[in-house]
Amino acid sequence: MSVFVEIDHIDKVFPLGGGKSYTALKSIDLNIKQGEFVTLIGHSGCGKSTLLNIVAGLDQPTQGGIVLEGRQVKQPGPDRMVVFQNYSLLPWLTVEKNVALGVNKVLKDLPAAERKQIVDHHIEMVGLKAAAHKKPHELSGGMKQRVAIARALSLRPKLLLLDEPFGALDALTRGHLQAQLMQICQESKVTCLMVTHDVDEALLLSDRVVMLTNGPESHIGQILAVPIPRPRLRLEVVNHPSYYALRGEMIYFLNQQKRDKQRKSKQAVAAIESKPLAIARHGLEKINLDLGFIPLTDCAPLVVAKEKGIFAAYGLEEVTLHREPSWKAIVEGVASQRLDAAQMVAGMPLSMTLGLGVPAPLPIVTALVMSRNGNAITLSKQLYDQGVRSLADFKAVIEQTPDKVHTLGIVHPASMHNLMLRYWLAAGGIDPDLDVNLIVIPPAQMVANLMAGNIDGYCVGEPWNTRAIQEGLGFAIATDLDIWPGHPEKVLGVREDWVNQYPQTHIALVKALLDACEYCDDRRNRAEIAELLAQPQYVGAALEHIRPGLIDPYLSVPGGEPQPLLRYNQFFVNRSACPERAEGLWVLTQLARWGITTFPKNWVEVIERTRRVDLYGEAARQLGLFDSEPDAKPFALFDGVVFDPNDPVGYIHRSTIQRPICVDELSMDNSMETLPNPSR
């Protein structure tokens, strides 16, 4: 079926006093097919009715738009009819005249007899033929609602909008009207969009249930397909094998949102009750920061922000960059508060939030992706000499040498290096835990270990692949661009409690690094950036090792022909800096797939708290940049297996090679701790 209704990246912002504003809806993107019944659920205040009113044309979006059958919705019209909870009947008119009022207005070109026939047909359709000449005060609540439905359907709308239409009715009347509505929609092939708080009603009526997160910046948290065949009878729906699992998933989502609301309320109270911090210059709570990084080419945004005075331009006057020896040291530095923030591998904020590498789960926030791509899988010259040119060749060598254990280096269990290498191996039928041996080695030590014969290859960022290739020690059998072009690589990682204590400082830090990311993706600046990175206090590598992929064509094989890879190092273009939630969810699936962490049952809560698109958006708006998150749509890596953000556990189970999956709820109560005021 083709798209019938397009809800295209809707934002709704309400102005408040004092020049402030409230963003009720953020980047709502949804397509509805003709004849589909879609229901919106979420807690009060999440913007369900606001969205419905925008679709109806009763309100206008701040950004985005509504398209119905190829035409943009700009005002109310008879092609969209709304059924409200409060009936909205004219009390001085009979049932027949209430229905006829709209018919005579909208369908005035039809003969009177035909209009009368339409009115009678729809009154009979809702079972009110005997009450056609009664006025609203003579009707029960259920009968009034049936009149409202008849009035809406009589205009032959393309889209029926239902705003909690049965919320005020008793259970028996509600059930009867629900059955009638299903029958009418089935017979008339009406497309419906409904708002409800009733999860059972949503399951009974819907083809899809769209679950909205809490405001501000409410967005689609999850979409649940309801695979129960039609026509539906209530008892058959309740007895369907999927019913209780679907119902449980909806209730669990709502409970996550309830906990989120309670947590934010407690944090707001704590902020008011805590002793106010002295505000430093430029309105920031803190201007002296210690930031950690690893000597890699993609630490460029931090180096540029420091060396080009960008940190200082945003009020961060005393920023010290600490070159750390390993990603483990980065974890220790942020967890112990030795570092205010750090460059992190993309999975690290999630893994620390889940408790990996720290004594207890420690919520870590990322509001910025600092780089994408930039890695390669390098194998030894010995494997090249054995004829390995592809993944299939590598698998053949492993099978032909059963007494040899091939060891590959990774930089951290939660790194994209580990997850991408594992994914690449498994796609070729190689079990990364049984067929090879993976060990953790700091990036700068990879080449030395390859030279010593301690490992047969590794996955790492630059310049450590290029150095091995140029020195004839190995070859790049695959780069990120071959596996998942545009994947998140390095992010800004900050403790959640630090963000809560220094909110303005955090936004200034994100803005400075966003500015630096833009500078890094201007290729006219790349030669200068390479010179900066080559300095011993940063990467400390030779320029000929730093330039390939960053500036120059990339050499994959010693003596081969370098190839231009324009997006090998990506910092800003194509909304690179946004910490997309769907990408974070993919990381969670891979951590669980390999038994590195459990998969959090409350994954919506974990993703929402860790991948802070709202804070990224605030920084982007202040810089005049586009602040919306890219669409959370299904995507696939090089093997074509589709990842659906609405079915992460199913995606794990479809993996051909995996460890036993543990799904468990993550308790995040310890996130309420606050940092002491620093003495420095």
Report, as an integer, the average pLDDT of 95-109. 89
| Higher-confidence position of 208 and 126 | 208
Residue listed under structure tokens 């709304």? 82
**476: phi then psi, degrees, rounded to nearest 5:** -90, 110
pLDDT at 84: 83
pLDDT at 271: 64
Residues in the chain: 680
Burial of 452 (0-12, 13-18, 19+ CB in 10 A): exposed
Report, as an integer, the average pLDDT of 396-409. 96
Strand, coil or helix: 30: strand
Complete DSSP assignment for 145-196 = HHHHHHHHHHT--SEEEEESTTTTS-HHHHHHHHHHHHHHHHHHT-EEEEE-
Cβ neighbors of 133 (< 8 A, separation 6 or more) are: 94, 95, 96
**Residue 273 region by backbone torsions, left for phi larger than 0, else alpha for psi between -120 and 50, else beta:** alpha
pLDDT at 246: 94
| Among the listed residues 555, 540, 382, the one whose alpha carbon sits nearest the alpha carbon of residue 469 | 555
The three state secondary structure string of 57-78 is CCCCCCEEEEEECCEECCCCCC
- List the single range of 43-57, 257-271, 374-388, 481-495 with lowest mean pLDDT: 257-271
At 82, the pLDDT band (50, 70, 90 cuts) reads confident
Does residue 615 contact residue 678 with C-beta atoms inside 8 Å?
A: no
Strand, coil or helix: 296: coil
Quote the strand ranges of 294-394, DSSP E.
Answer: 318-323, 341-345, 364-365, 369-373, 375-380
Q: Give the pLDDT confidence of 343-363 residue by residue, as tens digits.
A: 999 999 999 999 999 999 999
pLDDT at 631: 86
pLDDT at 268: 74
What are the tokens at 226?
């309801």
At 86, the pLDDT band (50, 70, 90 cuts) reads confident
pLDDT at 549: 96
**Residue 282: pLDDT over 90:** no
Complete DSSP assignment for 421-477 = HHHHHHHTT--TTTTSEEEE--GGGHHHHHHTTS-SEEEEETTHHHHHHHTTSEEEE
| DSSP state, residue 539 | T
C-alpha–C-alpha distance, residues 210 and 643, integer Å:
19
pLDDT at 140: 86
Strand, coil or helix: 369: strand
pLDDT at 85: 76
pLDDT at 190: 87
Does residue 164 contact residue 179 with C-beta atoms inside 8 Å?
A: no
Does residue 456 contact residue 383 with C-beta atoms inside 8 Å?
A: yes
pLDDT at 437: 98
What are the tokens at 399?
């099978």
- List the single range of 263-272, 377-386, 406-415, 665-674 with lowest mean pLDDT: 665-674
Report, as an integer, the average pLDDT of 195-201. 93
* Percent above pLDDT 70 for the chain: 96
Q: Give the pLDDT confidence of 523-564 residue by residue, as tens digits.
A: 999 999 999 999 999 999 999 999 999 999 999 999 899 999
Q: Give the pLDDT confidence of 622-680 residue by residue, as tens digits.
A: 999 999 898 889 999 999 999 999 999 999 999 989 999 999 888 766 543 434 433 33
Domains contained in the chain, CATH given: 3-262 (3.40.50.300), 268-369+489-538+567-672 (3.40.190.10), 375-483 (3.40.190.10)
At 281, the pLDDT band (50, 70, 90 cuts) reads low
**Residue 283: pLDDT over 90:** no
At 221, the pLDDT band (50, 70, 90 cuts) reads very high
Q: Give the pLDDT confidence of 4-38 residue by residue, as tens digits.
A: 999 999 999 999 988 889 999 999 999 999 999 99
At 303, the pLDDT band (50, 70, 90 cuts) reads very high
C-alpha–C-alpha distance, residues 602 and 5, integer Å:
31
Strand, coil or helix: 87: coil
| Among the listed residues 465, 406, 449, the one whose alpha carbon sits nearest the alpha carbon of residue 430 | 406
**611: phi then psi, degrees, rounded to nearest 5:** -95, 90
Mean residue pLDDT of the chain comes to 92
- Of 2-11, 275-284, 332-341, the range with the highest mean pLDDT is 332-341
Report, as an integer, the average pLDDT of 156-184. 83
Residue listed under structure tokens 């210059």? 281
- In 336-427, which ranges are continuous DSSP H helix? 348-353, 381-385, 391-400, 416-427
- What H or E segment, with its residue span, contains residue 479? strand 474-479
